[in-house]
A and B are shown apart, each in its own frame.
Chain A
């Protein structure tokens, strides 16, 4: 009787802490890693270092943006790594016409894979994980048919894209930032974004409400394919070579990690673009920290696993509420 607020405060904390962790834990993680590195890593606080981390994270982030859309629509896109490989093959094949034509060819290739993914999911009714798995295998195969081995890229436009900057910001970082803002705006402020989230929340309900479910799903996977193709172009520009055998391998897992760690639930209906950016940055900082301190590479994998388990744990707690 004397403390009426006490029994209410306990469930409030229990309910709120995991929700807070799921939503903002990733920012806290980035902050902790930054602080630890400032204290422990030599030469960490330099413009050059932040530039390196940003340039390395840019392709992963661009892929993760598309992945966030797919996951928000209660799907997943496993074909992104293969789309990067296909994109680099097409780029190399068409670079003789100049960088712009080659860029268009690469993006069209990504859109075609996205269209195939979306059609299989929306019209044939294949599960997203199966449909995109098929395109993941087919995409890398096609990439290797087109370009069987590594080929150097000598185009000056591509070199500029990979190594020069605008007002101190490297081109890949600038492009990734613009794309993040565009995707964030689309999700929050457009009809398409709202429809996507509604479909992700409950596809039957969205269909009953008269939403163009098939069209939206196809556009989602086309977006994911195009973003992966752009990431492939950025990675190629940085490497100054087209290497379809290794480019983008395991990229789908990095992208899913970034999205999930960023607080987007795998059950769809909700997308956190800010969290996805932070998730990609978190994984990048984690890898960088372990490399800079020369720890065994197996540790990186273990550390990533721990982060994923923590993120999924936070999501599970929230689901139970």
Chain B
């Protein structure tokens, strides 16, 4: 009795101390940006737009009749958005911001949830969104599999679902309406084109792979290697190691690489963060900008700045601004129009030609 009381007080004291610490720590903080009068952080306009190309040629379509729902008006509907990962990287930040901005500009009520990279949480998030009265769902899935129970619950209520950036393994126009996303294999192919252009099609290239067991990693690798093999027999992939999509790992692996392979011609990083790590490593080793050709995928502002500074040869964009196209799709669908089941978005690219002007577009 007494000891439990003591323990409760201790727990409370620890909690209070933690809250006090958080407040005290942020209260008098002063970052470099504060000190320098914040030169860059405010310039985050949501300027880019997602341009759709209807699924290559024979795209299957879906209508509200075939899905089994009823026509509604999007303007009076409530849309639920389930985000997969915490908004800690530029891609997720831009994605959520784009959905929010579009909902606001259309005057649609939006409910949001974030699964913090836990799949079980995402399942319960979606169930919560349905319970709170979402009429339509936009989901950025963490995994492709395991959606059975949620989809059954949504199908029972005829709630149309649009998935963005990753596909789920289910029947389109039955379990969900459409998938909107980039073609990761195509991103790999375009990165290869850029690498061939930058290196002149000769030499040895290294690949900084993303996290293992992730479809983004396998598809960006496949597209790159297939295109290199087909188009540039003089270019050889001599090194493939994972940087786990993280800058620090990208830096460490590149440091090892340039030590044992000092004559490496190019580095293909499967996301911008690892590419920036590679830039750090090359700087640390005293290399000149452009001595090793770096091509990355994503299109974050830091990487595009890297092109302007001469360190990066090309950035293939993976556009996170799904808001307009997702709401266009839902709007068309609820009005009874046909929508494509697979909507592949057009990603642009940054090179030394357009990097400076494109800096405002980067996220």
Residues of A in contact with B (beta carbons under 8 Å apart): 41-44, 46, 48-49, 52, 56, 90, 92-97, 105, 109, 112, 116, 120, 123-124, 138, 142, 144-146, 148-155, 163, 235, 238-241, 243, 245-247, 288, 291-292, 294, 297-298
Contact = CB atoms under 8 A, between A and B. Distances in A.
A232 to B, nearest CB: 12
Nearest to B28: A94
Interface string B4-29: 00010010001001100110011001
Contact of A97 (B30, B87, B248): B30
A145 B22 contact: yes
Contact of A142 (B22, B249, B284): B22
A292 B206 CA distance: 12
Given A142-B22, A149-B88, A243-B247, A294 B239 contact: yes
A149 to B, nearest CB: 5
Contact of B35 (A90, A96, A247, A298): A96
A56 to B, nearest CB: 6
B259 A46 contact: yes
B84 to A, nearest CB: 14
A238 B251 contact: yes
B88 A93 contact: no
A124 B10 contact: yes
A111 to B, nearest CB: 12
Interface residues of B, number: 50
Nearest to A235: B248
Contacts of A146: 22, 25-26, 29
Interface string B112-150: 000000000000000000000000000000000000000
A148 B29 contact: no
A121 to B, nearest CB: 12
B252 A297 contact: no
B241 interface: yes
A55 B87 CA distance: 31
Contacts of A46: 259
Q: Which 6 A-B pairs have the closest CB atoms?
A: A96-B30, A96-B35, A93-B29, A292-B260, A246-B246, A291-B256
A243 B248 CA distance: 9
Nearest to B32: A95
A298 B240 CA distance: 12
22 contacts: A48-B259, A52-B255, A93-B26, A94-B31, A95-B35, A96-B31, A124-B7, A144-B86, A148-B88, A149-B88, A150-B273, A151-B33, A152-B302, A239-B251, A243-B248, A245-B88, A245-B89, A246-B247, A291-B256, A292-B257, A294-B240, A298-B212
A291 B241 contact: yes
Nearest to B40: A152
Contacts of B88: 144, 148-150, 245
A247 B251 CA distance: 13
Contacts of B249: 246
A289 to B, nearest CB: 9
A150 B31 contact: no
Contacts of A297: 212, 241-242
Contacts of A235: 248
Given A96-B30, A116-B17, A146-B22, 13 more contacts: A56-B255, A93-B25, A94-B30, A95-B30, A95-B32, A124-B7, A149-B93, A235-B248, A239-B247, A243-B247, A245-B86, A292-B256, A292-B259
B18 A138 contact: yes
Nearest to A145: B22
A49 B259 contact: yes
B153 interface: no
B87 A148 contact: yes
A243 B246 contact: yes
B238 A294 contact: yes
Interface in B215-274: 238-242, 244, 246-249, 251-253, 255-257, 259-262, 273
B285 interface: yes
A162 to B, nearest CB: 8
B259 A93 contact: no
Contacts of B29: 93-94, 96, 146
Contacts of B246: 243, 246
